[in-house]
Amino acid sequence: MMMALKRYDIVVQYRKGSQMYIADLLSRTAVENTSEGNDDNSMVFQLKATEKLFKRFAEVNVVEYSDITDERFAEIADETKKDPLLRKLLDVLAVGWPDRKDELQDELMMYSPVKDELSVIGGVIFKGDRVLVPKSLRQKLVQRLHRAHQGIEYTLRSARATMYWPGMADQITNVVRNCEACMEYSASQLSPPMTTHEIPLYPFQRVHLDLCEVNMEGVKTTILITADSYSDFIEVDILKGTTTAAIVECCKRNFARHGIPEVVVTDNGPQFHNAAFEKFSKTWEFLHSTSSPYHQSGNGKAESAVKQVKRIYKKARRTGEDFWQAILQHRNTPNKLGTSPAQRLLGRSTRNSIPLKTSKMRVAVSQKALSQVPDQIAKHREKTKKYYDRGTRRITELKVGDNVVFQRRPDTDKRWEKATVIGKLPDKSVELQTAEGSTMRRSGVHVKPFGGATGFPRVGPDSSNLSREDLNTDEDPGSDPGRVFEKRSYPKTPGRIREDSIGNGPNEMTAESTNEKSMRGQMDRPKRELRRPKHLDDFAL
């Protein structure tokens, strides 16, 4: 024995007997009917008594103090016996785990990381104090866990407190994510990051139109707002009606004054989205672009101009000032670009109630200054986007044929309905076909993916806070070929299992393949090659 211990560097430390818990426990174990003079029988009896004691401890901790009814416990035990994979696991637990991993069957490799926590009581397999649920009962138990419809995280917490099986988090995540009730009443999506159009190179190259109502002298009056994207110059026209003909007449006057724009952007209102306005755009040779319904920010330039005009009108009425003089002053006030809208549009200031030199009303803005306007616009947009994007989230990229849910009337009803994507538009909006067969257009912020899958489909690694035991699946190798789970290959070489999360975003598949995930354990950290010292060649180790 001394020769055998020479190979080890042993440090002997003194410790009180009360602090040596295992030895102290065994020394206090009652031994009955010992026979003096027969050491072998005494040792066998002591070992049996110790085994009986530990078994009693396990039964008390797991069964007697759990809320599993006798009927439920018997059902789990019966289904465990019927499960081919769990029957093999029961056999391994009965005889003990093999010393080498290559001696373990491939389908049981998923349980190897938690083998020290597995035990069998009454025909039911436990992982610690959690029941290893047979495959046939998993879907039913997950549906019961999700009765309160509290979302993925709450359902996972409840499941992890009582039950276990490899791949549990993936399956629960998919069931909750495809719950129609949860999806119908889910919260609206955050606004997407700001998208900017191409910067115009000259005045009235790109204009934005919108309608608004103001109360002029007790009468509701409709106003057409025309905002120039280059100069920020705003044209305000009082309409006699909200017909397309009245709008076209105002547009003709403005275009005759400032030139025909290349692009005219409007919302999707009936005054703009009709054959008459389409004919007008073709006759006057400009591109007509519309924003998605219920998505005001799609025509943000016009919306901003409407707010400015309404604000000017309310304050002018409050102070008794002339509304049109206030508009004139607004056009001659320099903004963040350093020049006024009138200067960028006309190259000079226009005469107003503020005393000006005559030279100021000539062309006073140099061509060099005007040539810098696009760069100034770009810098201003970059700064604005930086602050705007802080409270946004990138929306999921949709493809034609995707099953989605959408908000039919996001301004009044936040519920989600099923639809299918049948077309994509340049402004990141999509054409949808509803369950009734009708088609409609919606912005990406009002549409989100929905698998609508039934049963227990497999999901990608996009849920958060999943433990390492949930990275595995336990599909039987002999299950039918139409199954939705994939059998994963597990490395037979030792490796550390990662315990971090496996997701990066709601409902987006990562680029990792199933095999790559299963190999994480051995690719986590570099391992040096182990070589046995030559001086041990003569020893049988």
Same domain, 59 and 70: no
Show pLDDT as tens, one digit a residue, over the chain (541 residues): 566 766 677 777 888 877 777 777 777 765 565 555 555 556 666 666 666 666 665 555 455 545 677 788 888 889 999 999 999 999 988 888 888 888 888 888 888 888 888 988 888 899 888 899 999 999 999 988 888 888 889 899 989 888 999 999 999 998 888 888 888 888 877 777 777 778 888 899 999 999 999 888 778 899 999 999 989 999 999 998 889 999 999 999 999 999 999 999 998 888 998 999 999 999 999 999 888 887 777 788 888 999 999 999 999 988 989 999 999 999 999 888 888 898 888 888 888 887 777 766 666 566 666 677 788 888 877 888 787 778 777 878 888 888 888 888 887 888 888 889 988 887 778 888 888 888 888 887 888 888 654 334 443 333 334 444 443 333 333 333 333 333 334 343 333 333 333 333 333 333 333 443 444 444 455 667 777 787 777 666 5
Position 355: which residue type?
P
Domain annotation covers residue 193? no
Q: Does some domain include residue 536?
A: no
Total tally of structural domains belonging to the chain = 4
- Domain co-membership, 70 together with 129: yes
What type of residue is 20? M
Q: Which tokens in the block code for residue 277?
A: 């306005």
Strands 263-266 and 206-216: parallel
3-state secondary structure of 212: strand
Whether residue 355 is contained in a domain is answered as yes
- Is residue 109 one of the residues assigned to a domain? yes
Query: Quick one: 376 and 485 in the same domain?
Result: no
H/E stretch holding 288 reads strand 287-290
Domain that holds residue 482: 66-178+454-523
CATH of the domain at 290: 3.30.420.10
Contact at 8 Å (CB) between 384 and 297? no
C-alpha to C-alpha distances, 234 to 127, 250, 280, 301, nearest whole angstrom: 70, 13, 21, 10
Distance, in Å, from the CA atom of 328 to the CA atom of 342, rounded to the nearest integer, reads 9
Which of 43, 63, 83 marks a domain boundary?
63
